Amino acid sequence: MQAFTAHRPKLYYEVSGEGTAILFIPPPAMGHLTFHEQVRGLTSCFQVITYDLRGNGRSETTDEPLTLEQMAEDVKAILDDLGVEQSIVCGYSNGALIAQLFALMYPDRCLGVVSISGFSEVSPLLLKKQYDLGVSVTGSEHLDFFAWVLAIAHFQDKKVRKEIQKEIKKSDPHMIEQQYAVGKQGNVTRALHQLTVPLLVLYGDHDYYIHSTKRPFIDHVKDLELVYIDGSTHQIPTHHPAELNGIIRSWTKRKGLLR
């Protein structure tokens, strides 16, 4: 199913499968196609929800200043639109910040959190530099190049590369820039002890520059599972989908989240 939320800005989302709801949150610009392989691999046991962040891809943009809280509220808006009372929220990279904040803001709507190549704050220097680069290359004059880089970095299939480039080029460059800026300042570390749901944290074992971000999770989260994907860098959902999908299935089963 393809649809737009009733609230403004209208957010584009897709839904496939039946069962426990699992909503995937992409990083800036990349949108619903980021989780192409999760849709294919998880719909047998989950209701898989993917979407485009506001101002990205097919979703409407807005002129109001962006906040991380708004992005978490957008997740709730999609669940409300679908009539889904509770969902697992799964965020990739910057999307993991949104997933954690959603769980903190709406604990009664969240069954569990999955952080893929994510963090509770942008603390390592190299990670900060990556965010700075994201801000600097997302202007309208660079959007085509930015779309090409993201597509090449994530997908081997040329058809999928073309599709995601096309979707990224529909985005509002100013909104992408704001999303990187807001993400860089985002920090939920001090509130992690308030998480009431299980947290699954996944890193690529070659994604060295963010490995140090595991420390706040270890120090503050009661129900934590930490997993490293062998041979993976940052792009776990697209480069190692079979491993990711299998880990999500086994974790949700152990936590009693499947219905």
Report the CATH number at residue 9. 3.40.50.1820
Closest CA to 251 of 104, 113, 48: 113
160 part of a folded domain: no
121-144 burial, b for 16+ CB within 10 Å, e for fewer?
A: bbebeebeebbeebbebbeeeebe
Sheet holding 20-25, edge to edge: 2-4, 12-16, 46-51, 20-25, 87-92, 110-116, 199-204, 224-229
| Closest by Cα among 59, 48, 41 to 18 | 48
The pLDDT score that the predictor gives to residue 156 is 86
Q: What pTM does this model have?
A: 0.96
Residue 86 lies in a domain: yes
- Distance, in Å, from the CA atom of 98 to the CA atom of 104, rounded to the nearest integer, reads 10
Q: What is the pLDDT of residue 135?
A: 65
Q: What pLDDT does residue 123 have?
A: 84
pLDDT, one tens digit per residue, over 19-78 is 999 999 999 999 999 999 999 999 999 999 999 999 999 999 999 999 999 999 999 999
Q: What is the mean pLDDT of the chain?
A: 93
Would 42 be classed as within a structural domain? yes
| Band of pLDDT at residue 130, cut at 50, 70 and 90 | confident
- φ/ψ region of 31 (left if φ > 0, alpha if ψ in -120 to 50, else beta) reads left
Q: Is 127 within a domain?
A: no
Assigned domain for 92 exists: yes
User: DSSP assignment, residue 189?
Assistant: G
The model's confidence at residue 139, banded by pLDDT at 50, 70 and 90, is low
Confirm whether 8 is domain-assigned: yes
- pLDDT at residue 131 greater than cutoff 90: no
Q: What is the mean pLDDT of residues 101-128?
A: 92
Q: Is residue 22 part of a domain?
A: yes
As a whole number, mean pLDDT of residues 188-217 equals: 97
For residue 177, give the amino acid letter. E
What does the DSSP 8-state code read for residue 120? S
7 assigned to some structural domain? yes
Return the pLDDT at 137.
62
Please state, in angstroms and rounded to a whole number, the distance separating the CA atoms of residues 164 and 150: 9
Count the domains in the chain.
1
Distance from C-alpha of 241 to C-alpha of 90, rounded to nearest angstrom: 14
Contacts of 103 (CB under 8 A, 6+ apart): 89, 110, 113, 195, 196, 197
Q: What range defines the domain where residue 245 resides?
A: 2-120+186-254
